[in-house]
Amino acid sequence: MLIRADASPAIGSGHVMRCLALAEAWQDAGGRAQFASAPPLLLPETLLRKSFQVLEIGSAPGSEEDAQQTLNLAHQHGAEWVVVDGYHFGADFQRMLKSGGVKVLFVDDYAHASPYSADWVLNQNGCAQSNAYEKREAYTQLLLGLKYCLLRGQFIEWQEWNREIAATGHRVLVTMGGSDPANFTQIALRAVSLLADDSIEVDVVIGAANQNSYPGGKSISREKFRLHRDVRSMAKLMASTDVAISAAGTTAWELCFMGLPAILITLAPNQLPIARELSQRQCAIHLGDASDISAEKLAYQLRLLLKSKELRQAFSSNSRELVDGNGARRVVSALRGTKLQLRPVNERDLRMLWEWANDSQVRAASFSSEPIPWATHVAWFAEKMRKGRCHILIAENAQNIPVGQIRFDGREDGDFEIAISLERLRRGQGLAALLIEEAARLASKTGLCSRLHAFVKAGNVASVKAFERSGFELVAIEEVRGMAAVHLSRSLREAPGKRNQFSMTG
């Protein structure tokens, strides 16, 4: 995969940062990703620390020469896919790449590049509508909405974390994106100082393209003022603060995922739809355009948010419902043609399940490695079908071909255990984590239970990682049938009690 995206003081680093999330997910699925960017190469250190190679584009961004150079780099480095993210890329850019024989994912925000000829168009914003992309090729497919929101891997580790809302907020996060050309950060610091509250602490995040200086927050005491450049873990910093003052760019979706109440500022016209949507959904306060906001106006809203636990609780809860953190994996799945759908098992699947269960690798990973006789399998299947607390689902790809199965078994405490297996030829494609994720999503949606458990035979590192990538956390090392087992679990955000929609008949 070759990612064509730029970062500069003028455009910030949002395009590159969300593509970094996609690159991480692509890498996790066994692929290789590289970036191609035009000078100035004001790229976050995060990108370089991840060991992603950055190739330089020597042409005017978005030009015909740029498209040709991007195409040449894709062929030179064996990239089947080219990801394009930036407002200076248009219809001609897509067309040139497609005519050069590569597959194209076009990352979009406001349908500015019509007519579309990319293989896929991704608009991760909640307000994305398919009718905005009517002018597209017949083969061009759409990935629209927050389901595909691109969050970096560091955020996925916080999927099961729950924010505690303090009675009064004291710690403020100020983050104006990668560049902040209008230097709104300084206005935010002035607003904090107007609160005249010695208990307030301020964390200021400065992006790689931010050329402003902040010697010490002026009227804010040095011990209460922390300046962060190129933060290694933005998720951890968000988790430690009570309120954010933020630009309404891609960071807004990270704030939602972390449930961090925010005051959003629009620094560019393309941020307005995001800010309005989050305000309408009661996830944040949209204060308006940066050019119209004074420090006094911001201080008033900030004081209100810090003092009101009820408002911060509502914002946090509403935000967490919007973004689940699995968007990048869903996009990778679409590009790889591995979109899965789940259906209930039926008797016609009996022999297929028996053959899958007796595969040598499956037996080696099981707590009982002996081959399963046909008669034993038939009796086991009949018993499972009679039980009201056992559900077996078959996963099928876009061509309706079975690729794996997942089983939910009820526990005495009301929770469920899950076990998965993949058809032999489907292993090593990143499907395990995707299958677990889809199963957890369905269990949450149907109110099956409030927590899922998994037991993996010790030494099966690949399976443990698949569950961890899907939000499971280590509980303990326990014993199952006389063997060491890794016990993992994941809580489901939606509480049980909804109508159970699983059906055990085909």
Chosen domain end from 84, 114, 144: 144
**Domain identity same for 93 and 180:** no
Q: Is residue 395 part of a domain?
A: yes
Sheet strands (E) in 193-321: 201-206, 225-229, 243-247, 262-266, 284-289
306-320, 400-414, 419-433: range with highest mean pLDDT: 306-320
**Domain identity same for 140 and 211:** no
220 pLDDT exceeds 60? Answer: no
Q: Is residue 503 part of a domain?
A: no
Measured CA to CA in angstroms, residue 463 lies from 49, 455, 469 at distances of: 27, 10, 10
Q: What is the mean pLDDT of residues 77-89?
A: 94
DSSP 383: H
Instruction: Look at residue 304 in the predicted model and tell me its pLDDT.
Output: 94
Measured CA to CA in angstroms, residue 57 lies from 41, 60, 70 at distances of: 10, 8, 7
Q: Is residue 221 part of a domain?
A: yes
* Euclidean distance between CA atoms 492 and 278, whole angstroms: 23
For residue 74, the surrounding DSSP H or E stretch is helix 64-76
Q: Over the stretch 238-264, which tens digit does the pLDDT of each residue have? A: 999 999 999 998 899 999 999 999 999
Sheet strands (E) in 345-389: none
Q: Is residue 197 part of a domain?
A: yes
Chosen domain end from 286, 320, 354: 320
Work out the mean pLDDT of the chain and round it to a whole number. Answer: 87
Q: Is residue 326 part of a domain?
A: no
In the chain, what percentage of residues exceed pLDDT 90? 49
**Domain identity same for 376 and 467:** yes
Q: Is 501 in contact with 490 (CB distance < 8 Å)?
A: no
**Domain identity same for 35 and 176:** no
**Domain identity same for 271 and 163:** yes
Q: Over the stretch 457-478, which tens digit does the pLDDT of each residue have? A: 999 988 888 888 777 899 999 9
Instruction: Look at residue 500 in the predicted model and tell me its pLDDT.
Output: 43
**Domain identity same for 383 and 234:** no
SS3 455: strand
399 pLDDT exceeds 70? Answer: no
Q: Is residue 329 part of a domain?
A: no
Chosen domain end from 320, 346, 380: 320
SS3 272: helix
43 pLDDT exceeds 80? Answer: no
**Domain identity same for 298 and 181:** yes
Q: Over the stretch 188-212, which tens digit does the pLDDT of each residue have? A: 989 998 987 888 999 998 876 666 6
**Domain identity same for 315 and 358:** no
Which CATH number is 433's domain given? 3.40.630.30
**Domain identity same for 274 and 377:** no
Q: Is residue 460 part of a domain?
A: yes
Instruction: Look at residue 498 in the predicted model and tell me its pLDDT.
Output: 40
**Domain identity same for 250 and 137:** no
Q: Rounded to two decimals, what is the model's pTM?
A: 0.68
- Based on the structure, what is the number of domains in the chain? 3
In the chain, what percentage of residues exceed pLDDT 70? 91
Q: Is residue 140 part of a domain?
A: yes
**Domain identity same for 291 and 170:** yes
State the residue range of the domain holding 450. 337-491
**Domain identity same for 283 and 231:** yes
